[in-house]
Structure 1
């Protein structure tokens, strides 16, 4: 009981650690919004290429999650996460001293791999500690996104002005290295076996055959609080089958068939490995994550360059990121209160998506600083509510709880894919049109499509319930 309570309270430490890691993740993305104009000039390149490279750290951190999750089955989560933090910080520091596009792209890609190695274990650890309240706990940790977007761009902008390009990257890499301390909070024993999808509830159950007077297939269960609470369902099932075969052998004098013992476990393992094929609603909803991520990262990368193109000085334009982050903090707080009050998350997502789409479609109305600040506030308010879509869809659109961890990893993959496309495609659109206003209006159109798609998915979720 004491160990269970200790694990529960340690969950809050994990939430705080994820907060800091997400602070670093989104802070890196928003900081590149400050660095992009300087990088285009320094590297003698275009916005499409530089946008692609700058989207790599944050997008790779999500894009590689399914592969990292598979790698975690045989490795200690804490070691993987700490190694990823060191890789990310070291590569960002190196980027400040590179003047070649290819080498810079490789370093930023490695930084993204390091971020993924850190984010995936901490995300699964939050899920392990908060089985029933995962969406709420995850949303609290997402304050890191908003905090990072508020503070880190200002730090990098001031560093760029005061110390220069290389020193700005040095400071950014130093901030990223703080993720190593957060990764150290992941407990050593939290590692999954090949067949496990995550730590099981403390009330694991063991089944034993009843007396001979009943049907041999009848089983009765009793609660157990032994040391093998963390065993996977497959191992438990295998032991049950061994007990049944041993019971039959004792009564009939027959030796158990090894194939019959392992057959159930083998087929169940196969079914779990492709379990998401039995989750059509979740698979149908994944384009929402792609579009949401594309719009969010396009906004983060090009908000400051867009404002500068309208004639506003860089020292003032960077504060739009802060204003958007403040809007995000307020929006996330309102969202958490509504979740705590029992309001369905999807009842909030749909109107918020419509408001966000409208703010982008009205991008042409004025180039004044007050108007830009109001639009940035609204967009931050909406985006930092919508970033809870990942957890909500992987929790509510999945029928079998055994598929939740895989759904989380796949959700983050689609989220990362959208982030990767955002830097390239939005940068290409600007090179083509030479107008960030048109780029933002296109974002508004894609967000309108996402809002309609989300309404359809919400209908199917409620219909299934």
Structure 2
């Protein structure tokens, strides 16, 4: 299906769009990890519990995905550049004002606005990237995902030093200043500007027409002008009559408002994305389950090691080991994309390898074994981390549906993240075993693999039909 896509834009501005999306992911990853540094201070400041504060501090990333469908309606009243710039302001201002929030609930409302602002910037950037990188969208989007890893490594260190130097308010102000760079990301959004071949053809035809008119005698030119005037008057008269007939039809149909509203409702219903893109329906469950496994694994990797008897200081290093392995995993994925390997097959192998590591979790509880499993899981998790946007691009057959697909995809990712965090905690509360939880992740990864195989078979069969 990738061969039928239009070529990438020749506008050099596409690299600015690429950098903008990288920077936005840098901000998102940095905010998420920095809130882990600020969490104890927020608990002490508002005399709250960790569960409530963790939910509040997780609102920016969650709201960024859940509110993405709203941007579809905002596209009708403003440009993508305006939307993205306003989103950048909304991303930063609540974080800057967060130290003066009177309660943890007001803080939650402010951080929810931050998530909305990031959605207003994230959606235009993703749409613009699809316009600039029509054919290599998957490769370009994977490059920008490195921003999350870089932000997660660098920004928490900055915020930790800021807390020591400037205190609670100063740490939030510096984090808000980092988030303020989202305004730059939004201001860089614009459509591709390139001169097409048909423009040159039309200009050449205009010159040829002008030369032919210069070659016609003056008497013939006057006859041609009179003929043109007569034709123009006939066209003008027909236009006036057509306009009158449209007015009469509008008056006659003014009494049928209920039918019009019904027709408009049916038109909106028929424009629902799932009715036009059946392949997207097939792959949507894999997207939800992938986000479920990813967020659950990230939340419970360190507690799982602590439950196995590893002290906290050493258990924290498992996240660093998984993150470093994830960088190599994404590099390998980019190499495979450059070699034009099939995305579906890559994700299938990654899911099977990761599922095997979850199933082998019961073998040993030693730190070396858990570190090896964490490296394997990080290597593979950050490969199929690219699954939602990659499979969205492959499954959408009509490029005109891409804006709606991006918004719908963001909502699906939000559902996966939220359900993964909540249900993983519920499974542990019921079973009191991290090993059972990891086995559940392995089973879900096998279900994702089956879903990908079914999708691949349908795609291969469709061209034959």
State the TM-score, normalizing by the size of structure 2.
0.74
Q: CA 1:105 to 1:430, structure 2 compared with 1: closer, same or farther past 3 Å?
A: farther
Q: Secondary structure at the match of 1:381?
A: helix
Q: Where in structure 2 are there 5+ consecutive unaligned residues?
A: 1-6, 205-230, 251-262
**What residue number does 2:288 align with?**
290
Which of 331, 334, 350 is matched with 1:336 structurally? 334
Which of 375, 390, 410 is matched with 1:412 structurally? 410
Q: CA deviation at 1:126?
A: 0.7
Q: Distance in 2 between matches of 1:171 and 1:21?
A: 16
Q: Distance in 2 between matches of 1:155 and 1:309?
A: 30
Question: Is the 8 Å Cα contact of residues 60 and 420 (structure 1) preserved in structure 2?
Answer: no
Q: CA deviation at 1:108?
A: 2.5
Which of 54, 63, 67 is matched with 1:60 structurally? 63
Q: CA deviation at 1:447?
A: 2.5
Q: CA deviation at 1:351?
A: 0.8
Q: Distance in 2 between matches of 1:357 and 1:141?
A: 26
| Matching of residue 124 in structure 1 with residue 122 in structure 2 | no
- Where relative contact order (Cα < 8 A, 6+ residues apart) is larger, the structure is 1
Q: Secondary structure at the match of 1:404?
A: helix
Which of 437, 440, 444 is matched with 2:442 structurally? 444
Q: Distance in 1 between matches of 2:158 and 2:103?
A: 25
Q: CA 1:168 to 1:449, structure 2 compared with 1: closer, same or farther past 3 Å?
A: farther
**What residue number does 2:13 align with?**
10
Between 1:429-438 and 1:50-59, the stretch displaced more is 429-438
Larger helix percent: 2
Question: Is the 8 Å Cα contact of residues 52 and 423 (structure 1) preserved in structure 2?
Answer: no
Q: CA 1:224 to 1:387, structure 2 compared with 1: closer, same or farther past 3 Å?
A: farther
**What residue number does 2:369 align with?**
371
Question: Is the 8 Å Cα contact of residues 27 and 151 (structure 2) preserved in structure 1?
Answer: yes
Q: CA deviation at 1:326?
A: 1.9
C-alpha RMSD of the superposition: 4.0
Q: Distance in 1 between matches of 2:441 and 2:47?
A: 27
Q: CA deviation at 1:342?
A: 1.3
Q: Distance in 2 between matches of 1:364 and 1:153?
A: 33
Q: CA 1:276 to 1:79, structure 2 compared with 1: closer, same or farther past 3 Å?
A: same
Q: CA 1:176 to 1:358, structure 2 compared with 1: closer, same or farther past 3 Å?
A: farther
Q: Secondary structure at the match of 1:102?
A: helix
Q: CA 1:202 to 1:386, structure 2 compared with 1: closer, same or farther past 3 Å?
A: farther
Q: Distance in 1 between matches of 2:302 and 2:165?
A: 19
**What residue number does 2:210 align with?**
none
Q: Which has the larger radius of gyration?
A: 2
Q: CA 1:451 to 1:223, structure 2 compared with 1: closer, same or farther past 3 Å?
A: farther
| Matching of residue 323 in structure 1 with residue 318 in structure 2 | no
Q: Distance in 2 between matches of 1:91 and 1:390?
A: 29
Q: Distance in 2 between matches of 1:153 and 1:376?
A: 22
Q: CA 1:37 to 1:289, structure 2 compared with 1: closer, same or farther past 3 Å?
A: farther
Deviations 1:383-439 (A, max 9, x none): 222232222222211222221221122111101121222333333444555554444
Trace 1:360-439 onto structure 2 (pairs within 5 A): 360-439=358-437
Question: Is the 8 Å Cα contact of residues 29 and 297 (structure 1) preserved in structure 2?
Answer: no
Q: Distance in 2 between matches of 1:88 and 1:312?
A: 38
**What residue number does 2:115 align with?**
112
Which of 434, 451, 454 is matched with 1:453 structurally? 451
Q: Distance in 1 between matches of 2:41 and 2:366?
A: 24
Q: CA 1:414 to 1:271, structure 2 compared with 1: closer, same or farther past 3 Å?
A: closer
Question: Is the 8 Å Cα contact of residues 202 and 225 (structure 1) preserved in structure 2?
Answer: no
**What residue number does 1:280 align with?**
278
Q: CA 1:163 to 1:200, structure 2 compared with 1: closer, same or farther past 3 Å?
A: closer
Deviations 1:72-112 (A, max 9, x none): 23213233223322322333344456574422322232221
**What residue number does 1:22 align with?**
25
Q: Distance in 1 between matches of 2:59 and 2:72?
A: 19
Trace 1:213-252 onto structure 2 (pairs within 5 A): none
Trace 1:201-220 onto structure 2 (pairs within 5 A): 203=196
Q: Distance in 1 between matches of 2:278 and 2:312?
A: 47
